[in-house]
Amino acid sequence: MRTLEFSSSILLGILALPASAQLPEPHLGYAYPAGAERGASARVVLGGQHLQGPRRVLFEGKGLEARILHYCKPPNRGQLNRLRQKIREWLLARHPELGRKDRRRDPKVQAKLRRMRANPFAVLDEMGPEVFKRIARSVRLNAFDLDDLKRFLPKFRDPKRQPNAQIEETLTLEVSVAPDARPGLHELRVETNRGLSNPILFEVGQYGESLEREPNDERPDTSACATLPCTINGQILPGDVDRFAFFARKGTRIVAAAQARRLVPYLADAVPGWFQAVMTLYDEAGNRIALVDDFKFDPDPVLSFKAPKDGTYVLEIRDSIYRGREDFVYRITIGRIPFVTGVFPLGGRPGQATSVKLSGWNLSKPTATVVPGKARDGRIELRFRQGRRLSNPIRFGVDPLVPIRAREPDDSPDQARKVELPVLIDGRIEHPGDLDVFRFEGKAGEWITAEVRARRLGSPLDSLLEILDARGRRLAFNDDFVDKGAGLTTHHADSRLRIRLPEDGTYMIRLGDAQHHGGPDAAYRLRIAPSRPDFALRVTPASLSIPPGGFGVLTVHALRLDGFDGDIRLSLLDPPPGFRLDGAWVPKGVDKIELTLGAPRKPQAPLHSIRIVGRAALGEEIREHEAIPAEDMMQAFLYRHLVPAEKLLVKVPGRARRGRTTPRLAEPGPVLLPLDGGRWVRFTGLPKANALPRGLSFELHDAPKGMSLVKTEVPEDGMLAFLLRPDPASLKAGTKGNLILRIYLTRTLNRPGAPRRTRRIFAGNLPAIPFEVIRRL
Amino acid sequence: MKDDGTTMKPNTDETLSREDGPLPLSRRDLLRGGLYGSAGLFLSGLGAERLLGAPRARAIAPKAKSIIQIWMWGGPSHIDTFDPKPKAGHDYCGSLDNPIATNVDGVRIGELLPLTAKHADKLAILRSMTHGVNGHETASYITQTGWKAGGRVVHPGIGAVVAKFKGYEAGYEGLIPPYIVLTGPQGRFSESGFLGSRYKPFATGGDPGRPKFLVEGIAAPGITLKRQKVRRDLLDRVNTFAKRRRGDPKLAEFFRAQEQAYDLILGDAGKVFDLEQEKPELRERYGKNTFGQSCLVARRLVEKGVPYVTINYRGWDTHKQHFETMRRKLPEMDRGLSALIEDLHERGLLDSTIVWWGGEFGRTPKVLWNPPWNGGRSHFGYAFTSVVAGGGFEGGKVVGATDERGMSVVDRPIHPRDLLGTMYSLMGIDPESTLRHPQGDRIPILPPPDPEIPTKGFLREIV
């Protein structure tokens, strides 16, 4: 057995990783405009980072195509300084009199300098694109042309602008939308030579679209919505205010619905964590008619007004505290558009027709029939046809239980309606102070779960839920239940509680509004049923790049319900050939685990849709749920949200050239790691020892506190062994999880005249090692 | 002051009436008022003399006369400075995984602090600071007051407390205000709390890193001293109102304040800010940048007896591209800090001057590699490091420890209260003293120990 000396010669191409596997993955921050009309095409700019080598743009859903026109990577501070110096040198070579001290006071020279300062674009035009390209390349700016510089010059000069590397690079696209493309939001990803970007949102609209044109801070843009209805696309930069003028006839119900947070749900590096749009409406005389900064609980404002007279009105949009940057994008649809503000009931049964009442503005039909299709997380998104147009999207619950309707009066225990469990009740908190009370019979020791679905289905209700015994004593109470699966929710207003009934008898469930509001839109679905331990799964990220034969890291989040605490076994559902999961479990008591997805060495295609399913034994029953792909997004430096995505897409670029095997644990997991000294864990399927590269090292990634990698050895050709040791001071017997070993290569940089520096390069992962800590072997 | 009145009596005017109570004017306002004419008239009779001179307070055997607080605004990474964790791996250390030895056996610090490493024998490194607060404002508050934010009372920070106990009311007679901040106030933190604007620091403004350090309110940019004198003479000549009311006692008080203000500008006192009086080699040793030259000004200020100087050192809130920032800023900090310690030591001032380095919290040990952070560290109040030197603190010491990743304190938790109380004691201020709140309550300068953070109290082991 030979101990690995990390600086000595060890094997090369341990996982036959291509160089691109070590580079950061492409990241998208925004699309501007963030949508286009059906049957039209639009020039769209994507902002992001690590976008070099773009290959294609992928849309979720049919009818959308994009052609990549241009990639731009602006200079960093050092490059900008060097570029400035080079341009100066070129300028002095062309106009030598500008550099001569004896001619500084010459009026002609001074006039020339003044002209140049006043119009730097003329200097750039004089230079021409070819000369600029040569100069740019000399400072290693390979994706920055003269037009880019002209576009960026105002930004470089703006003192309010802060550098944001995550959205500095841009891709310009020509997006074509087919006439039959589904209206609404579609996920958009970019595939590059390096990998696959995260998904961002792009909307297919129903109305004529326009782009805002600056300057429009003071004088409104009159062309953007010359004809109603229309959708205006804009971008708010620091301190920016955008104004648009439109004409409305007396008596017309005009709706202006903004989308901002909906397009870019969370900003990690801004407070409150999204572009908080504020819309203000002015009449012709400049009087403020309305100001809105939200719609019910939704941060995106919606404004509705009946035009008091024929005239031109001005709509203004800005950030609530005048922040701004390129990813503060918005879309405002203005006009006599059908807009649904509420629906009742809030849900229906799968495959069954449900008649619903609609409330809102400009609705030609106040009722509709809904037949819910395949639901995800107990809900679907609906748009209601109103004449030739579709309404705004509405969330609609789907539950197999036959619902009953709440009936007023039911405010007190005396008036409580008796229900049989399990039951699903559709009701409303009809006015401030309204309470809805239901009565049911229960048995001692029985576990009951009561859950409100209201806010998660678009209702403004902020529920309060309590269970009382027959004497009116409160047994359980809940205001807010944090549903970690509701990734776009920041106020978890729905209630949920679980209780073990203390005795046989009658119990009361009382529901109200925490904010003492109420009204026809304050609808709810209350489900009361015997508790049924269960789980849901989320898997992040929604995009992943794995080198052929390599291993990518996925995180599975288990959302455990009603006391379920057991193991969840994971597997791939209809996997493409050659993919495999290692560490495919969520052990008992664990809510979040990292595991690895192994990619085939010679994949049949570059892109693959991966589905993961979890199975758990719940008593006699085996329950199965598919993991919903999600992005783990940060809000305002702190909070994290699992925002659902349509698919988990995996890119495997190319085919492995070296080696024939992929690493595998020598023994099936979970590996038992004793507290009294640890244990060697071996991998097989590795290249021969003499092929290992110099400076190879391994590190545990996100291991639990107290778990350490003590030693690495090559016991024989094709094998690697790792001594893993749990620290009894930090870890207890019974701790379970996965360990992931990351591979690093250390390279020494020897530049003439520069001090010798070493650089560590991330080179991939080994398959996850499922483990359990035990006292001793 | 203790409630029973048995210890020190720092203030004699705590029960001032509204007429002569704390002024809603900063010291700069006073200077401007004194200088620039009739606005200053309104100061007369409002206790201006009390601002510029106060009764001497009793002190309990002070070891230190001054504190230089190097406020690492934004929260410096503990892992990359004084609490390195080279074994934690790449996800924690990034490219800074090679700590260096110091001149104290067994003590290693961040690789970008080689100059400071040569003075570790003068430093006490407090590696187990903790308060668990991750917001800038609230963490700045608890770090400098000892109190958790959010209570009914807004407590004064240590600088204001020192100014109260060691300033004019305790016999400090210098023209330079007793609490100076170089160069801008902290902004997110009310330094003086309920003590009011009277105890706010005098923020110098300007930039000591420039060839000429122009202190706002003391030097007018673009105007020579000669021209300022000419202007004063002209003002005297045209000020007929003052001539007519020459005998007015209120105006006399105002003119005295005005003369003192002019002395600060045109006399010797203001020369403390004139860095041209220092040898170029020394200025170079500190580093010819804002921070380095601020350290030099701080040394000059404590040399003149100023009891509390804050260097508000911005740029440590490294959410993004942390390692690039560390490679740019830590050498600058290393140079300034090491030069300050060395210079104070060589001049025999270190024994009487506490140098306190630290921010409101540390930074997350685990690096955020993905966009938008691109290798950044977030706020981390659960475990962080402060460093103290001089003024009675024993050097060459490391107090407390964090775990192998710098994530949690594993030995000798130090709450900000413990550090502040120790510094108060060294300054001769009883940590159990109380202050009179404007509404009449007596408020302790420090809170009682936090039961949630079981510390060993004040840092007796290093004083």
Taking CB atoms and an 8 Å cutoff, what residues of chain A touch B404? 708
**pLDDT above 70: percentage of residues in chain A:** 97
CB–CB contact B372 A702 (8 Å): no
Which of the residues A269, A545, A555, A633 would you substitute to probe the B interface, choosing the one with the greatest number of B C-beta atoms within 10 Å? A269
Quick one: closest CA in A to B98, which residue?
A758
- The reported pLDDT for the residue numbered A9 is 29
What local confidence, expressed as pLDDT, does residue B23 receive? 30
CB contact (8 A) between residue B320 and residue A705: no
Nearest CA among A535, A303, A561, A345 for reference residue A457: A345
Size of interface A-B (CB pairs under 8 A): 48
Q: Is B321–A165 a contact, with Cβ atoms under 8 angstroms apart?
A: yes
**Which residues of B make CB contacts under 8 Å with A?**
89-91, 95, 134, 319-321, 369-374, 378-379, 403-405, 407
User: Choosing among B136, B367, B374, B402, which should be mutated to test the A contact, i.e. which has the most A CBs within 10 A?
Assistant: B374
pLDDT tens track for A616-658: 998 889 999 999 999 999 999 989 999 999 999 999 988 887 6
Q: For residue B60, what pLDDT band results from cuts at 50, 70 and 90?
A: low
Question: What is the rounded average pLDDT for all residues in chain B?
Answer: 85
Q: Work out the average pLDDT over B290-306.
A: 97
Select from A530, A714, A13, A166 the least CA-distant residue to B376. A166
Q: What is the pLDDT of residue A559?
A: 97
**Contact, A465 vs A480, CB < 8 A?**
no
The helix/strand/coil state of A431 is coil
Cβ pair A27:B370 closer than 8 A: yes
B462 pLDDT more than 80: yes
Are A166 and B372 within 8 A, CB to CB?
Answer: yes
> Using one digit for the tens of pLDDT, what is the confidence trace for A170-213?
999 999 999 999 999 999 999 999 899 999 999 999 999 999 99
Nearest CA in chain B to A761: B90
pLDDT tens digits, residue range A230-266? 999 999 999 999 999 999 999 999 999 999 999 999 9
Q: How far is A49 from chain B (nearest CA, A)?
A: 8
> What is the DSSP secondary structure assignment for residue B376, as one 8-state letter?
B
- How confident is the model at residue A598, as a pLDDT? 96
pLDDT at res. B298? 98
Which residues in chain A have Cβ-Cβ distances shorter than 8 Å to B321? 165
Q: Does the structure show a pLDDT above 90 at A403? A: yes
Burial class (CB in 10 A: 0-12, 13-18, 19+), A715: middle
Pick from B90, B369, B374: which is nearest to A760 by CB? B90
Residue A17 has pLDDT above 60, yes or no: no
Question: A159 Cβ partners below 8 Å, 6+ apart?
Answer: none
pLDDT of B68 higher than 80? yes
pLDDT of residue A118: 80
Give the residue on A whose Cα is nearest the Cα of B369. Answer: A24
How many degrees, rounded to 5, is the angle at CA A587 between CA B364 and CA A556?
55
More confident residue, A646 or B38: A646
| pLDDT of the residue at A484 | 92
Instruction: State the nearest Cα–Cα gap between A699 and chain B, in angstroms.
Output: 6
Q: Which residue has the higher pLDDT, A347 or A121?
A: A347
The residue among A50, A631, A699 with the most chain B CBs within 10 A of its CB, best to mutate, is A699
DSSP 8-state code for residue A207: S
Q: Which residue of A has its CA nearest to B90?
A: A699
In the prediction, which pLDDT does A775 show? 95
Nearest to B371 among A27, A638, A759 (CB): A27
Which range has the worst mean pLDDT, A11-15, A332-336, B20-24, B319-323?
Answer: B20-24
Q: Do B371 and A166 touch (CB under 8 A)?
A: yes
* Banded pLDDT at A23 (limits 50, 70, 90): low
Nearest Cα neighbor of A267 from A634, A695, A729, A599 is: A634
- Predicted confidence at residue B219, as pLDDT, reads 66
Q: Is A268 helix (H, G, I), strand (E, B) or coil?
A: coil
The reply to whether residue B371 touches residue A165, judged by beta carbons under 8 angstroms, is yes
Say yes or no for a CB contact (<8 Å) between B403 and A705: yes
Q: B53 pLDDT exceeds 50?
A: no
Identify which of A167, A638, A744 has the shortest CB distance to residue B90.
A744
Quick one: pLDDT band at residue A614, thresholds 50, 70, 90?
A: very high
- Residue A49: strand pairing partners: A27
Please count the other Cβ atoms lying within 10 Å of the Cβ belonging to residue A215: 10
**Residue of A310, A340, A336, A364 whose CA lies nearest to A225:** A336
Pick the residue from chain B with its C-alpha nearest to A706: B404
Residue of A nearest to B405 (CA): A705
d(CA A667, CA A682): 8
Residue A351: per-residue pLDDT:
96
pLDDT for A11 beyond 60: no
Nearest CA in chain A to B378: A637
**Residue A442 · residue A505 · CB < 8 Å:** yes
Q: What is the mean pLDDT of chain A?
A: 92
The pLDDT assigned to B32 comes to 42
Indicate the residue type of B90.
Answer: H
pLDDT at A6 over 50: no
pLDDT recorded at residue B58: 43
User: B403 and A701 in contact by Cβ < 8 A?
Assistant: no
For the cut 60, the answer to whether the pLDDT of residue A337 exceeds it is yes
What mean pLDDT comes out for the span A322-328?
A: 96
Query: What's the average model confidence in pLDDT over A759-769?
Result: 90
Domains annotated on chain B, with CATH = 27-462 (3.40.720)
What's the whole-model pTM score? 0.87
* Mutate which: A634, A639, A707, vs B, most B CBs within 10 A: A634
Nearest-CA distance from B2 to chain A in Å? 42
Inspect the interface and report whether the beta carbons of A268 and B373 lie closer than 8 Å: yes
Can you give the pLDDT at residue A165? 92
How do strand A379-382 and strand A354-361 relate by DSSP bridges? unpaired
CB contact under 8 A, B372 and A638: no
Residue of A637, A731, A746, A762 to mutate for B, most B C-beta atoms under 10 A = A637
Does A637 sit within 8 Å of B379, measured CB to CB?
A: yes
User: What mean pLDDT is predicted for residues B168-193?
Assistant: 90
Residues forming a β-bridge with B312: B71
Q: Are B353 and B122 in contact (CB under 8 A)?
A: no
Residues 6+ apart with CB under 8 A from B449: B415, B417, B455, B457
For A268, which residue in chain B has the nearest alpha carbon? B372
How far apart CA A463 and CA B443 sit, in angstroms, is 42
Q: From the list A49, A637, A759, which residue is nearest B319 (CB)?
A: A637
User: What's the pLDDT at A103?
Assistant: 80
Question: Is A593 a residue whose pLDDT tops 90?
Answer: yes
Q: Please indicate whether, in this complex, the C-beta atoms of B90 and A762 are within 8 angstroms of each other.
A: yes
Backbone angles phi, psi at A554, to 5 degrees: -115, 150
pLDDT above 50: residue B49:
no
- Domains, in order of start, for chain A: 19-73+167-205 (2.60.40.10), 77-143 (no CATH), 208-339 (2.60.120.380), 363-398 (no CATH), 403-530 (2.60.120.380), 534-651 (2.60.40.10), 664-774 (2.60.40)
Put simply, the answer to whether A699 touches B90 (Cβ < 8 Å) is yes
Chain A residues in contact with chain B using a Cβ-Cβ cutoff of 8 Å: 24, 27, 29, 48-50, 164-167, 268-269, 637-638, 699-702, 705, 708, 742, 744, 759-760, 762
- Mind telling me how many Å the CA of B96 is from chain A's nearest CA? 11
pLDDT, average across residues A278-304? 96
Whether B371 and A638 lie within 8 Å, measured CB to CB: no
Minimal CA–CA distance to A260: which of A280, A279, A287, A246? A279
- Residue B42: pLDDT above 50? no
CA distance B89 to chain A (A): 6
Q: How far is B374 from chain A (nearest CA, A)?
A: 8
Is the pLDDT higher at B222 or at B383?
B383
State percent of chain B over pLDDT 90: 64
- Residue B6 pLDDT: 34
User: Residue B39 above 50 pLDDT?
Assistant: no
Q: Which residues of A touch B320 (CB under 8 A)?
A: 165, 269
Q: Which residue of A has its CA nearest to B94?
A: A760
